[in-house]
Amino acid sequence: MMNRRILVTGGAGFIGSHVVRLFVSKYSNYHIYNLDKLTYAGNLENLKDIENKDNYTFIKGDIRDAKFIEDLFSEYQFDAVIHLAAESHVDRSILDPLIFLETNIMGTVNLLNACKVSWKDDSGRNLFYHVSTDEVYGTLGDEGFFVEATSYDPQSPYSASKASSDHFVRAYGNTYGLPYVISNCSNNYGPNQFPEKLIPLVIQNALNQKPIPVYGDGKYTRDWLWVKDHALAIDTIFHSKKVNETYNIGGFNEWQNIDIIKLICGIIDKQIGRDDKSSEKLITFIKDRPGHDRRYAIDSTKVKRELGWSPSLTFEEGIEKTINWYLGNTQWLKNVTSGEYQKYYERQYQ
């Protein structure tokens, strides 16, 4: 295994922290540089267990700052990038689209420019790994799946910004010969997810006996993947030696929101000894999200067939692990929900 200097962006966030931990622990001959602005969603507590490892360095910085990014590449000579830094929440993108454009599009282009300038050798070690979402494909009816060839049709400011960033990555590959891979993943769940996203929000509100907000009729459908399986998929694709390829990653695990919410309520009642069905009483149907995508479903056959990746956990196992993690980390929840998030929560659910 060769030595590598890998820049991971957004490594203090939910998925990024699992990717950083996996790479730092598994590849002692790699040095992992975690670049993160530490927005409301970035939290170094997520990486406490690995922060003192010799092959890990945290760098606080903003991908929107082109000069800073250029200087960083000159200083560290990264030979690969795994790019996860982003504004990631659809509801926030509806309230304030501009920051999504700045971070997700401009920030990505700043990184692409720095790679273009910095990568001169053709030894095959350079790679820009762009972590994207299934939401770029738009929304499905009752039937069918997103495949890699599905046309882009983003419906929210968030997905429009991610789609645009995907286009820029491919354009740099095509125009400048930049080696890249893109993976488009379905909804992730697991430890360390910020409680603005459905699953941790439901867990938190059920624990605190607060109303559980369900948008519209609750029959919107998502395909859920255990976050550590996503990190393993990224590891597999990163090391596959494939370039200028796209892979869909998903769990073949579709759930309507209302069914997931009831499942979580039931597990929480059992785990903390509440009466059966008592948490379900907190379910509150509220006004729908504007432009709400009805259904996402990923066909991840290609990554399984070509690279042998498939999910390691069933949803029933994963959701129980997730709930137990939140039950055992109430201080983490308290810490991340003070301050900035509270202001957003009041604005969103007033």
| Integer Cα distance of 23 and 26 in angstroms | 5
Q: Say whether residue 201 binds ligand TYD (CB under 6 A).
A: yes
Q: Considering the complex, what minimum distance in angstroms separates the CB of residue 286 from ligand TYD?
A: 8
Q: Say whether residue 199 binds ligand NAD (CB under 6 A).
A: no
Residues 79-98 vs ligand TYD: string with x where CB under 6 A?
Answer: -----------x--------
Tell me the number of residues near ligand NAD by CB under 6 A: 30
Among the residue ranges 10-18, 115-123, 211-219, 327-335, the one whose residues contact ligand TYD (CB under 6 A): 211-219
Whether 135 sits among the annotated catalytic residues: the reply is yes
Q: Say whether residue 214 binds ligand TYD (CB under 6 A).
A: yes
Which residues is 248 bridged to in the sheet?
184
The structure tokens listed for 278 are 């008592």
CA 328 to chain centre: 22
CA 48 to chain centre: 20
In contact, 205 and 282? CB cutoff 8 Å: yes
Set 87, 134, 166, 196: catalytic member: 134
Q: Considering the complex, what minimum distance in angstroms separates the CB of residue 113 from ligand NAD?
A: 15
Q: Say whether residue 197 binds ligand TYD (CB under 6 A).
A: yes
Whether 62 sits among the annotated catalytic residues: the reply is no
Set 30, 56, 137, 158: catalytic member: 158
φ, ψ of residue 34 in degrees (nearest 5): -100, 105
Whether 220 sits among the annotated catalytic residues: the reply is no
Which residues is 59 bridged to in the sheet?
35
- How do strand 221-226 and strand 254-256 relate by DSSP bridges? antiparallel
Q: Considering the complex, what minimum distance in angstroms separates the CB of residue 236 from ligand NAD?
A: 16
The partner in contact with residue 50, picked from ligand TYD, ligand NAD, none with C-beta cut-offs of 5 to 8 angstroms by kind, is none
Q: Say whether residue 262 binds ligand TYD (CB under 6 A).
A: no
In contact, 190 and 321? CB cutoff 8 Å: yes
Candidates 93, 103, 284, 85; CA nearest to 202 is 284
Q: Say whether residue 187 binds ligand NAD (CB under 6 A).
A: yes
Question: What is the residue type of 200?
Answer: P
DSSP state of 214: E
Residues that bind ligand TYD (CB under 6 A): 90, 187, 197-198, 201, 213-215, 220, 222, 257, 289
Residues serving a catalytic function are 134-135, 158
